[in-house]
Structure 1
Amino acid sequence: MDKLENLWIYNSAYQRFDEGSVFFEDTIRHVQRDGQADRDEPLYLIPGFTDIHMHIESSMTTVTEFSNAVLPHGTTTLVADCHEVANVFGVEGLSDYMDLPSVVDVFYAIPSSVPSTSPALETSFGNIDAEEVRQLCKREDIIALGEIMNANDLFSEDDNRTKRIIRTFKEYRPKAPVEGHCPRISGEQLSRFISAGVDSDHTHQSADSIREKASNGMFLEIQRKSINQETIDALKDPRLTGSFCFCTDDVLADVLVDEGHLDAVLREALRFGMRVEQVIHAATSSPSRRMRLFDRGRIEPGKCADFILLDDLQTLHIHSVYKHGTLVYTAKDGLLNRQQLPTLKDRYLHSIQRKPIQADQIDLHLPQGCHTIPVIEREEHTTFTRFAKQEVVQQGSSFAFSHFHLNLLAVVERYGHEDPIIPAFLKNGLSKPGAICSSWAHDSHNLLVLATSVELAVRAVNLVIKTQGGIALVDDTEEVVIPLPYGGIISTEPIDVLARQIKQVRSWLVDHGYRAKEEIMNFAVLALPVSPQVKITDKGLVDVINQKVIDWRTYYA
């Protein structure tokens, strides 16, 4: 039996630190809380961090490499919703991805929105309905139903896919949580959302939404973009203990390497004045209990010996990390045993089925008498978009969009159907000549292209097709491709290499005038037809609120 002594040990019951020692093997055997922490440089023992709302593929990496990346940041347990892989490969490919090895304990939530809307609005390879839920529930590592995004299905009087999924999941996992996605939903609609069995939310919060949702019994998963003085002041109320936790949702590789994982979210909460004891509780005990992982999240006898030693409580600086009683990381020596990615099946590395495109496939003709068209205007500080009107002047049969300071925006279907390319247009996009095309485009991961000319758009799309997935950057001086060979969404490079590549994409976007709080994610979700108000898919321009495809040529006719 191993022993760590002369420590300050976190006490989850009282949210305080006690002096003492801990005895452990793979689980904690005994906690002695009456010793004397007489080290010259005190160490603080806390449970390993548990992140219960996150998407590994949002870091564009594998389960194996993600584990290597987050262990040094104290994350020892994940609950992952891998809906990106499910959209690209279906249940079989999803299962293979979930089977990849990991030192971190990874539990899974069944993706509930694959595709995020319907085949009428977007094309994806995968589809999850009741039968697929039954198949996935056979896995022991399935402990939740992933975020329900389609509120229209919940509010509908008809039976539909979302309701079938919830009903089937509850049949096989009656006590397991159902996760929610309900941005800007309040009042009676919020009550209907919760009444449908969906009782958590991880989307952007305000102090008012925190109070309303918590008062209605909703568990809140607070990600970094929701943290500010107003929200932290609301969450500091001790009566909310156990009603919320912190989570990451999406962390791009460069942010993960430079700033951290869940620990970076916690430091942000500390910066706005939350007590460190409350912050720790909301990253350990609270999320573990939400997911019914009662064997972890606390320094108590019988719990997993997953813990972190901190040498600075206010900065959460990590001295060392233990996983199942084994030392896996020290600040001095780094990660002690880096796990290697196994050989991947060939079909996962060759998944872009689209043939190269040509300029004449992008139809920009304007019908006679068309004077006004709808375009997308995006918010720079969020992922929300809105309709904007653009007055146009007839200039022959083709729309010269660049004359109006618009960018061409299109989604090219990638799954072998060779569907027509239906363009749309974006305000406040690229201000310098260039094109970016990405097969990492939420959630269906078709080929999303933004360009200042048709010629540059074609070059960028064809580079991604040739590379079998990735992010292509094209302008008059260079062509660069960041390969994402696993399904067109996941890199097989070590996380530090991928981080440098993602920085290159971010820098290119900024240099070409694309302004956003999170440039890459802001771009990628232009193809997500559940994020208000208007988005683009391979079917064309989508009115998200009314869930229908619209024709930009006749919309204002």
Structure 2
Amino acid sequence: MEKIRGNIVNLKEEKIFFGDVIISGGLVFDLVFISEEEKGERYILPGFVDSHIHIESSMLVPSEFAKVAVRTGVVATVSDPHEIANVLGVDGVEYMRLNGVLSGFKFFFGVPSCVPAVLFDRSGAVLDSRIVSEMLESGNYFYLSEMMNFPGVVGGDLDVKAKIDAALRCGVKVDGHAPGLVGGDLKAYVGAGITTDHECMSLQEAEEKIRLGMKIQIREGSAAKNFDSLIDIVKVYPDMVMLCSDDCHPDDLLNGYFVGLLKRALSKGVNLFDALRISGYNAVKHYNLPVGLLQKGDSADFIVVDNLSDFNVKKTVVDGSVLFENGVVCTNSVEVEVVNNFVENIISVDDVKVLSPCEDSVLVRVIGVLEGELYTHSEVCRLAVQNGEVFSQKDSDILKIVALNRYQKAKPSVGFIRGFGLKKGAICSSVSHDSHNIVAIGVDDESIVKVINAVVASKGGLAYADEDVVKVLELPVAGIMAAAPAEKVADEYRCLLEITKKSGSIVKAPFMTMAFMSLIVIPELKISDQGLFDVLEFKPTSLFVNER
């Protein structure tokens, strides 16, 4: 048996007492009360749980992600392997699960429900209702991941219904994804068995969903940041809220990750016990996770911090094993296997030309970027025509955006986007939700082609290029993750950010934001490898606007 003495935080009874945590066989064997008075500078409390995250968006494989997470007191994640599923299907999901198991950290993977999210978006795999049912019935997965096809739910799509029915039959939760859904459609969506949503933008939207029985996951990721808009809902509905990151790049992981959210919640007036509940307790209860909450008989999953304001993590324990202590990470070493699905598709300047139907000027649909949001505006702008072509117009901050299929040889689709601010060069990524085709934004056609071909040559990555420079952060694992430690990936990513900002980008997280410009289930206007998509109408739309 092992004994750890300190101020024990009991979330169930909302009290703190000085005592001993007795550990045996990976379990909390006993909690020994010594005094009601808090003593010393050591607090023992349940570990944090990220209630919704795509590990792939960290650009780290699970075993490398775990090395960062344990430093910040996170002991478990509710992980949606949707990204790698779009690339490699069931094999990709199993890759994530098995790599995570070897780390010693608690990854709870769900079965992706929407691969692909929309048939207009061509991905590397398809998970139909039969495959989803088989995966759920295996017992290796803990929930049905976010159901993004809310029109399919509301409209009674048979394949969508079969996936939800399979989850309910297996007794697991169904995660939601319903940006802006209200009224009768929302009631139908919740009534189908959807239990959570991480896409709320306002208190009003969150409260309507909570009143219908949904749990709200307040998201604060590298691109989408809804924390400040939603945190006050905790003061009214503390048992109906969880914290999540959704998508988090490695530099943000290394800069505090979940501890930062907890401290911000306290600074916004959320009381200590409610702040701790939304940081893990509620997720454990909602998903019925085998994660300990520092109760007798629980798994020994807990953290030790120096105080209850700074939450400097001194020790992280999972299943009784120390995974982090006094600055040293003790997770298992796991060899990173490289798996991928990437067809070489080199393009030329002719492939990204936009030929105009008019001689002098033309009206085009433009994707309008909103800082800190995954939503976009659908704008109509008049652009000049030069020698029969339409080019980026950097003075108006209207740049070309190009999407290229990476699973088969095909011509790219080309559109226009406003809000990135680039003054020279181009950026590109093979991390582009949800199908992870290649997406690029640039000032001139030559830079766009150069940066896309650099990513193709690397079989995945993030990149910047101009007439003088090409810089690539290689992501060889499924074209979306690195085979390297977090610190190396974060350093290379910071270098890319720096050169992109020096080239004029005004977006805080340009690569993460660009990755969501192809997510054609979030309004209003997005682009896939097959062209522009009007999400409000939920159908393809044309680049040019008819002026008649």
State TM-score, norm by structure 1: 0.92
Q: CA deviation at 1:219?
A: 0.9
Secondary structure at the counterpart of residue 340 of structure 1: coil
Distance 1:210 1:18, change over 3 A: farther
Structure 1 residue aligned with 2:263: 267
CA distance in structure 1 between the partners assigned to 2:66 and 2:485 by the alignment: 11
Partner of residue 487, structure 1: 478
Task: Indicate conservation of the 8 Å contact 2:103/2:334, yes or no.
Answer: no
What is the one-letter code of the residue matched to 1:344?
Answer: E
Cα distance in structure 2, aligned partners of 1:215 and 1:343:
44
SS in 1 for 2:89: helix
Residue matched to 2:21: 22
Residue 243, structure 1, aligned to residue 244, structure 2: no
Q: Paired residue for 1:178?
A: 174
Task: Please name the residue that 1:97 is paired with.
Answer: 96
Q: How does 1:27-66 map to 2 (within 5 A)?
A: 27-35=27-35, 39=39, 41-66=40-65
Letter in 1 for 2:328: G
Aligned letter for 2:539?
K
Q: State the distance in 2 between where 1:206 and 1:395 align.
A: 43
TM-aligned CA distance change 1:248 to 1:373, over 3 Å:
closer
The answer on whether the counterparts of 2:17 and 2:38 sit within 8 Å (CA) in structure 1 is no
Structure 2 SS opposite 1:392: strand
* Residues 10-45 of structure 1: per-residue CA shift (max 9 Å, x gap): 112222212222211210011123436674x33111
Worse-superposed segment, 297-306 or 393-402: 393-402
Change (3 A) 1:184 1:315: same
Change in 2 beyond 3 A, CA 1:394/1:64? closer
How far the C-alpha of 1:404 sits from its partner, in A, is 6.7
- Kindly report which structure 2 residues correspond to 1:449-460, keeping only aligned pairs within 5 A, or say none: 449-460=440-451
| Superposed CA offset, 1:510-532 (max 9, x none) | 22222234332211101111111
**Taking structure 1 as reference, are residues 13 and 429 closer, same or farther at Cα in structure 2, changes over 3 Å only?**
closer
User: What is the correspondence of 1:199-348 to structure 2 with a 5 Å cutoff?
Assistant: 199-224=195-220, 225-228=225-228, 231-237=230-236, 240-258=237-255, 260-293=256-289, 295-331=290-326, 333-335=327-329, 337-345=330-338, 348=339
Code of the residue aligned with 1:541 in structure 2: it is: L
1:476 aligns with 2:473: no
Q: Which residue of 1 aligns with 2:345?
A: 355
Moved more, 479-488 or 245-254: 245-254
> Displacement of 1:133 after TM fit?
0.8
Matches within 5 A, 1:387-426: 387-402=378-393, 405=396, 406-416=398-408, 418-426=409-417
Match of 1:535 in 2: 526
Structure 2: how far apart are the matches of 1:413 and 1:216? Answer: 40
Counterpart code for 2:402: A
1:114 maps onto 2:111 in alignment: no
Aligned counterparts of 1:204 and 1:241: Cα–Cα separation in 2: 16
Q: Match of 2:163?
A: 165
In 1, distance between residues paired with 2:158 and 2:509?
34
Structure 2: how far apart are the matches of 1:403 and 1:67?
Answer: 41
Question: 5+ unaligned residues in a row in structure 1: which ranges?
Answer: none
In 2, Cα distance between the equivalents of 1:182 and 1:399?
A: 35
Distance 2:368 2:36 in 1: 61
1:293-321 residue CA offsets vs partner (Å, 9 max, x unmatched): 2x434211110011111111111111211
Q: What is the SS of the residue equivalent to 1:485?
A: coil
Count of aligned positions = 539
DSSP 3-state at the match of 1:116:
coil
- CA displacement 1:114-167 (0-9 Å, x = unmatched): 11111xx1110111111111231243331100011111111214x343222112
After TM superposition, give the deviation of residue 507 of structure 1 in Å: 2.0
- The alignment partner of 1:8 has SS state of strand
Which residue number in structure 1 is paired with residue 131 of structure 2? 132
C-alpha distance in 1, partners of 2:496/2:336?
A: 28
| Counterparts in 2 of 1:465 and 1:206: CA distance versus 1, 3 Å | same
Deviates more, 1:93-102 or 1:176-185: 93-102
Whole-angstrom distance in 2 between the partners of 1:518 and 1:462: 22
Give the structure 1 partner of residue 11 of structure 2: 12
Report 1:48-87 matches (<5 A).
48-87=47-86
> Which whole-Å CA distance do the structure 2 matches of 1:310 and 1:381 have between them?
31
Return the letter of the residue paired with 2:472. V
SS of residue in 2 equivalent to 1:283: helix
Query: Offset of 1:189 from its aligned partner?
Result: 2.2
Task: Show CA shifts across 1:181-215 (max 9, x none).
Answer: 11222222221111111121112342222322222
Does the 8 A contact of 2:394 with 2:423 survive in 1? no
Amino acid at match of 2:363: T
Secondary structure of the residue aligned to 1:383 is: coil
Identity fraction in percent: 26
Q: Deviations over 1:335-373 (max 9, x none)?
A: 1x243332515xx14x32032111112241111467322
Q: Say which of 428, 439, 442 aligns to 2:430.
A: 439
Q: Distance in 2 between matches of 1:554 and 1:420?
A: 22
Deviation at 1:435, TM superposition (A): 0.8
Given that residues 316 and 323 in structure 2 are in contact (C-alpha distance below 8 angstroms), is that contact kept between their aligned partners in structure 1? yes
Retained in 2: the 8 A contact 1:179–1:198?
yes
* RMSD over aligned Cα atoms: 1.9
Alignment-mate amino acid for residue 333 of structure 2: Q
Q: CA deviation at 1:534?
A: 0.3
Partner Cα distance (1:15, 1:205) in 2: 30
| Secondary structure of 2:231's aligned partner | helix
SS of the residue 2:178 aligns to = coil
Superposition deviation, residue 426 in structure 1: 1.3
Report the secondary structure of 1:526's partner residue: coil
Could you tell me how far apart the structure 1 residues matched to 2:315 and 2:64 are? 19
Cα distance in 2, alignment partners of residues 401 and 328 from structure 1: 50
Is the contact between residue 473 and residue 480 of structure 1 (CA under 8 Å) also seen in structure 2? yes
Task: Tell me, yes or no, if the aligned pair for 1:21 and 1:35 is still in contact at 8 Å.
Answer: no
User: Do the aligned partners of 1:84 and 1:444 also contact (CA within 8 Å) in 2?
Assistant: yes
Moved more, 91-100 or 464-473: 91-100
Q: Which amino acid aligns with 2:319?
A: H
8 Å contact 1:78–1:107 — kept in the other structure?
yes
Alpha carbons of structure 1 residues 366 and 242: separation in structure 2 relative to 1, 3 Å: same
Cα distance change on mapping 1:292 and 1:549 into 2, 3 Å: same
